[in-house]
Structure 1
């Protein structure tokens, strides 16, 4: 197993000397990009806006526009993108964006560039938040089908007594150097129609390498979220990460800064993007291997938050990847993961399997019981949405029942053909958390985490999965997979009338009795049998008859 305890870096290590610059080109390396018709249309419009500004302002330096970062990287890789960051040399993004709106109100400009009223959206200003390492104010506008961010080129100057930089206008070289990775530090100069590389980004793209423009320790301490961003880019692009950067990413000071300095909403956004990408297993693998797990999946405001044992975490995500890669019609993954949202949830559930045996925390004072520790780790660590938190909580509560029914099927227990037993269980799981299929998947992953070896053995995986496949096949044979959406044969008003009593607290349980009867009698159309079933249990149900 790889070591998870990070090495503490030597204070004399060159990679930690302040503000050291590793690479910088006085003359940028260049190449070209072939624009689509829509991109060329946008470029033409923006250049006309720049020219309009240059004609109406007195300044030593004209406006120069550059498309920056991810769009340039993706274009060079042949990946389509509708998100374009536009960097401006001598004015703010808000000021430039307002000139776009102003100029496009002129009919001759709109006609020249084929711009209609629906091609220009509203301006959205996103304020800077230095305390959370968001040092940049940006302005976003929907333009000609693209989401375009506008921001000024900048340089950041740090002082010894502050973790927040002084941000001011800078050159393209200075802006490139303060970015998170060289492959994200490329510019496409709209005025020259050339790519500009000041940091070795083109070379690193050819080498499929994620590297920081400045020394890694400096880069990550300036903005610790870059640790997760580099993992996301590396997993998405299937690039390797510079070994020097990987070593620094595991440094305790960097991890502490990520835990304390960065808002958990921003952490959650990065994790969600990783797990919604094409290679979620690779992302989780790196989080695990680099010792980031306890920094990401935790409640940073709760010092007593336990740390689960994660030595077998890879079993969980390798099992889920095995299921995903061997998906066929009717297979475990095909039956249990049926949407993009469910796929994202499944990877979060895989990441949380080590929490299965962690005791729940007790509330302080007389507060209501806290949710399971796994739910807290997701809710507070990555700000998981309520819907996902409900699935995590339900998975925790229903795991033992799910495992019990699965074992019963595998061992051919006498009651496994009782359709109401399985159908009512599924209805309960779904009613108390939703996504009952994902709750079953969670139970499977926790089971794998407990019984499979760290040494990857596909034969063992196949045997293990076969038991869960048998369970799901049995649910299909019983025809209870859609039990949560089964329409009741009788409603509460009709049941009360048939019994000759007023509705009361007994009604919910009585209707469950009716549904259970209905599951045992799937071909029935007359509810009389269900009513008699309820009548026979009037004392048990406390029905005042």
Structure 2
């Protein structure tokens, strides 16, 4: 068995089990919850289903139902939730749900509970999948607009080498103690109408504290994913993580367990939930402060690759959060982040920034060049999607050109009025994966990280950087080229080949780009003749064949 933290550090360890938390409560603390009319309707239906089942059972134990975890927590915080986990004491979730469906088909039940055809959706079962942190089968039904999961109360026993526990039927106390945080271990007992707290959940809710029900070190060793879950809940709820838990969350043994026992897909799911939440900066701050960065954003199959320097990473996520919080029309964030998808991509690229300064291995020239290390870190570390990985690679590849144009505008270079130069650059950045604006934001954030980390006699302030990049974006707006990737061609391929009197060939794509560049230089001209003439002047350069003479 794995030794507990107190045993590892010796008898004088400052990290001790918390007896008031570890001890099962014989009489749980309680409070009440005021249900909405729909919630009350759902409660009455489920209680009748329990009575319906009790009548057909020969076992004396009464079916007792509890709403568990997140719904109870959110309800106490005044947050509406449409996902309700229902825990059952003496039968599986599937068995209860099947009996519920039988009862709901009876005319008396339909009339009593005002059940409309649209009130009850299909029953479906989510299979057990330990690698996705799904240790027990659950059955879900759509009821009165709620997604209701049914599962039995359970207790868990872990082995040293696996985060997949042995599952058994358990009591409400045992079910509460196996959970990741006390604020997620609360029950609402449908039979009594009261909240049940077998840990310290209600007290911790008032204190806005995220704490593990059992001793933290063993809790995280049993299931290291709980480290990330606590980070997510603390960020989302704006709670504080218990200092006793914080002390061990970055422990080398915990980090090793996180690497070995947790699938990278599951780590990616937790991170996605963090970065798509309302407080992504806080999530990254926890990851930074707790020493989790190198465990999360890495290629675990290549332990010998160099680690990025994250000493200036804080400036990056704080800068993006400041831009987000202080967004105004025409500001950097307003111009560059135009959708929820772009916002999520921006936060992932924030995580990639430190890798920008790690030298990529030189390509031998044979075969396709490997992606940059930053792309590998999210592809293998959090199993990012192909689109997101392609965006990280493209942002890396385009950063040098973006920086050069920013400098040109700042230095008032003579060519900055050339609309086609900037417009065609934007089209190139956007060509493969889109999101050219997010790529520009990435270049800006890397600039923030690097400039603020430079030990120079004349350090550049954040305000100076902001003014420089804002001037660049304002210049693009003045040139009216922000929508250059979607610019409609003044002439298409068929029209161009016909005007030139030749057949299509490999030259055509480049020739059409020449036409687009001409359009950007002549935005008021709607006659394609000028574009054709431009192409004709570059026949040799483009490799356009000579016009065939008619016989």
1: CA distance, partners of 2:403 / 2:462? 17
Within 5 A, what are the aligned runs for 1:3-402? 10=9, 12=11, 13=13, 15=15, 22-130=22-130, 134-158=134-158, 164-361=164-361, 368-402=368-402
Partners of 1:237 and 1:336 in 2: CA distance: 28
Structure 1 Cα separation of the partners of residues 163 and 378 of structure 2: 28
2:460 and 2:241 mapped to 1: Cα distance?
32
**What RMSD, in angstroms, separates the aligned Cα atoms of the two structures?**
2.3
Is this contact kept in 2: 1:15–1:216, CA < 8 A? no
Corresponding residue of 2:4: none
Within 2, Cα distance between the matches of 1:9 and 1:449?
39
Larger deviation, residues 321-330 vs 439-448? 321-330
Change (3 A) 1:414 1:209: same
User: 1:166 offset after TM fit, Å?
Assistant: 2.3
Instruction: State which drifts further: 130-139 or 379-388.
Output: 130-139
Aligned to 1:526: 527
Name the structure 1 match of 2:481. Answer: 480
Per-residue displacement from partner, 1:348-400 (whole Å, max 9, x unpaired)? Answer: 11111001122335789976332221111112211222222222111011000
Counterpart-to-counterpart distance in 1, 2:511 and 2:10? 70
Report whether the alignment pairs 1:509 with 2:510: yes
SS in 1 for 2:461: helix
Question: How far apart in 1 are the matches of 2:110 and 2:469?
Answer: 61
Aligned-partner SS, 1:540: helix
In 2, are the aligned partners of 1:15 and 1:215 still within 8 Å (CA)?
no
Residues paired across the two proteins, number: 536
**TM-fit CA distance, 1:199:** 0.2
Residue of structure 1 equivalent to 2:549: none
Q: How far off is 1:252 after superposition?
A: 1.0
Report the equivalent of 2:3.
none
Q: In 2, are the aligned partners of 1:360 and 1:370 still within 8 Å (CA)?
A: no
Contact 2:452 2:460 in 1 (8 A): no
Q: Could you tell me how far 1:116 is from its partner in structure 2? A: 2.6
Deviation at 1:159, TM superposition (A): 5.2
Contact 1:66/1:190 (8 A) holds in 2 = yes
Partners in 2 of 1:192 and 1:17 — Cα distance? 32
**Take 1:292 and 1:506, find their aligned partners in 2: how far apart are those partners?**
51
Distance in 2, matches of 1:412 and 1:365, equals 38
> By how many angstroms is 1:16 displaced?
7.5
C-alpha separation between the residues in 1 aligned to 2:365 and 2:490?
46
- Distance in 2 (CA, whole Å) between partners of 1:237 and 1:488 is 49
SS class of match (1:287): helix
Indicate the SS of the match to 1:156. Answer: strand
CA distance in 1, matches of 2:366, 2:46: 60
Deviation digits for residues 302-355 of structure 1 (CA, Å, limit 9, x no counterpart): 333432111111011011012112210100000001111111111111111001
- 2:17 and 2:214 in contact (8 A); partners too: no
Please give the alpha-carbon distance, in whole angstroms, between the structure 2 residues aligned to 1:262 and 1:438: 30
The reply on whether 1:490 has 2:491 as its aligned counterpart is yes
TM-score (norm 2): 0.93
- Residue 162 to residue 332, structure 1, CA distance change in 2 (3 Å): closer
DSSP 3-state at the match of 1:352: helix
Deviation at 1:459, TM superposition (A): 9.2
Unpaired segments ≥5 residues, structure 1: 1-7
Distance 1:37 1:231, change over 3 A: same
2: CA distance, partners of 1:518 / 1:175? 67
C-alpha contact 1:220 1:249 (8 A) present in aligned 2: yes
Q: Distance in 1 between matches of 2:392 and 2:45?
A: 48
Question: Once the two structures are superposed, what CA deviation does each residue of 1:4-60 show, in whole Å capped at 9, x if it has no partner?
Answer: xxxx97255485789996343210000000111111111111111111111111112
Paired with 2:132 and 2:525, the residues of 1 have a C-alpha distance of 61
Distance 2:508 2:47 in 1: 69
TM-score, normalised by the number of residues in structure 1: 0.94
Quote the Cα distance in structure 2 between the aligned partners of 1:331 and 1:350: 19
